[in-house]
Structures are given as structure tokens and as C-alpha cells.
Chains A and B, each alone.
Chain A
Amino acid sequence: MLQVPSETAYLAVVRDLTKKMAEAAGFDAPTALNVALAVDEAASNVIEHAYHGQPGKRFEVRIDDGTEEFRVEVVDAGDMVDPRALPRVDLERYASERRTGGLGVHLMGKIMDSVTFRRTARKNVCCLVKRKA
């Protein structure tokens, strides 16, 4: 488990750790980098939406290399964020209206086999799962 300060400067640490762990779990380098990107997006959401860009907070990254799946949980104690409230991704509309919200969640869902969000014990838990072949 990694405790990460709520500052975007630390996203590189999250990315590098996730990539190395995914590679150690047996994923090839491009897949491991994609998994790292999905976790980067989840961590960015925590900093931007749950903590509203405030420094001095912390969130956790928990990585579990299981037999059948590689699981990453990003856990924060910030405001509850319901990803279902984010707009559906409509690229044409995004281009014309300069809207970019929701792209990250969309990307996470495309990269991972499963992305779930839950609120438990006053914490937000974003769980990202990539199955092993």
C-alpha cells in the first residue's frame, strides 16, 4: 500500500509503481503502461474532484497481484464523487463545447476489465481490475 500526498506532482510515482507492479505480475510493457494510465486517471480524479485540488491530504493506492487478476484500489477520504454523474462521452459534442469531463473515467473503463466505485466508512474506493490472460 502506498500513501500518496494529494498533489499532482506525485502522479509520476503512482504511475511508475503501478507500471512496475503490472510488469512483475506478467503483463507486457504496453499493457502495464495502460494499466498505469488508468490508475493515473483514478488518482487525478481523487486530487481534482474528491479533494478539489487541496494539498495536505492523502490517498492510498493498494495493489494486489492475484492469481487471476491484477487489482488496484485508489482510496480517498474526500468528498463523495459519483462517477455516474459525469456526462457520457460524446466526442463530437466535446469538441464543439470544449467539454472534457468524463474522458478519464471513460478511458479507465476501456483499459481495465472492471472499474467500480463504492463509498465505505466515509471513504471513496475506486477499484480497477485487469484480468490475467
Chain B
Amino acid sequence: MSDLTVDTRDVEDIRLLYPRGFINAHTVRVFEHELQRTLQEGRFKVVVDCSGLAYIASAGLGAIMGSIEEIRGNGGDLRLAGLNETVRNIFEILGFNHLYRIFPSEAEAILSFRQGGGSTA
């Protein structure tokens, strides 16, 4: 069994990413690949639904940070949804909750794009 799979889905102009499993130094390329593909396709409104994510190491956090400037520079944003307690804790430890908007559910993250609003948390 793979340690990480990343499914994707589009809702209008919003790209949804569904990482399932563990993101660490070994699996991060899979996640980075989907993020890069998203940007190459010109999709800059991104929701990462973390409800299937067991944990994320610094490599995964680095992948998010590595893409955010391009995303926001093109008028979009990367928003997070459905974090479990462990993943939320990691984001808070590193202060990511101040840099990224985090929503309880995917539906709320999608709604936030439809309602507009800034990119900062």
C-alpha cells in the first residue's frame, strides 16, 4: 500500500486536492507533483482537504510554502480544510494557522472562495 495518494477534483474554478496517508520526505514528491500540475493548469484557487491526511512532516509544509507565492501572485489562494487534531497541531506549532486560512470542512473552504475575501488567515 502506498503511503500517500492524492486525488483531485474541480468545482468550477476551484481545484480540490485530497491527500490520503502520510506526507514526509519520501512521499512529498507525490504531493508536490499534484500541486505543480494544478499551477501549470492555471488553477490558483486551491483547497487541500486534509481529512484523509494522517500526518504531515516539514517536507510537506515546505511544499505548501513553495507554491503559495505563485498562487497568491496570480490572485488565488491555497486554503486548508478538514484537519485532524494531529495535523492541526502541527500547523499551529509552526504558525501556519496565521499564514493560511483553515476551515472545518471542504464545503466551507469552497464557500469562502465564492464569497471572496483575503488570503491571510
A interface with B by C-beta (< 8 Å): 8-9, 11-12, 15, 30, 33-34, 36-37, 40-41, 44, 47-48, 89, 91-92, 94-96, 98, 100, 103-104, 106-107, 110-111
Chain B contact surface mostly: helix
CB–CB A111/B24 < 8 A: no
Task: Contact check, A37 vs B65: say whether CB atoms are below 8 A apart.
Answer: no
Secondary structure of the A side of the interface?
helix
Q: Which residues of A contact B108 (CB under 8 A)?
A: none
Q: Give Cα distance in the complex from A107 to B89, angstroms.
A: 11
Q: In the assembled complex, which residues on chain A have CB atoms less than 8 Å from the CB atom of B96?
A: 91
Shortest distance from the beta carbon of A63 to any chain B beta carbon, whole Å: 19
B55 touching A98 by the CB < 8 A rule? no
Q: In the complex, which residue of chain B has the Cβ closest to the Cβ of A38?
A: B57
Residue in A closest to B92 when the chains form the complex, CB atoms = A110
Q: Is the CB–CB distance between A44 and B25 below 8 Å?
A: yes
Q: Establish whether residues A47 and B25, one from each chain, have CB atoms under 8 Å apart when the complex forms.
A: yes
Contact with B93, one of A36, A48, A110 (Cβ below 8 angstroms)? A110
> How many chain B residues touch the partner (CB < 8 A)?
26
B85 and A100 contact, CB distance less than 8 A = no
**Which residue in chain B gives the minimum CB-CB distance to A29?**
B86
Specify which chain B residues have a CB less than 8 angstroms from the CB of A11 in the assembled complex.
24-26
Contacts of A9 in B (CB 8 A): 26
The answer to whether B58 and A104 touch across the interface, beta carbons within 8 angstroms, is: yes
B26 touches A8 (CB 8 A): yes
Knowing that A11-B26, A98-B66, A104-B57 are A-B contacts, what are 8 other residue pairs whose CB atoms are under 8 Å apart, sorted by A's residue number? A33-B86, A37-B57, A91-B94, A91-B95, A106-B58, A107-B57, A107-B94, A111-B93
| Chain A residue contacts of B55, Cβ below 8 A | 33, 36-37
Task: Report the separation of the CA atoms of residues A41 and B24 in the bound assembly, to the nearest whole angstrom.
Answer: 8
* 6 A-B pairs in the complex with CB atoms less than 8 angstroms apart: A11-B25, A12-B26, A91-B98, A91-B99, A100-B58, A107-B57
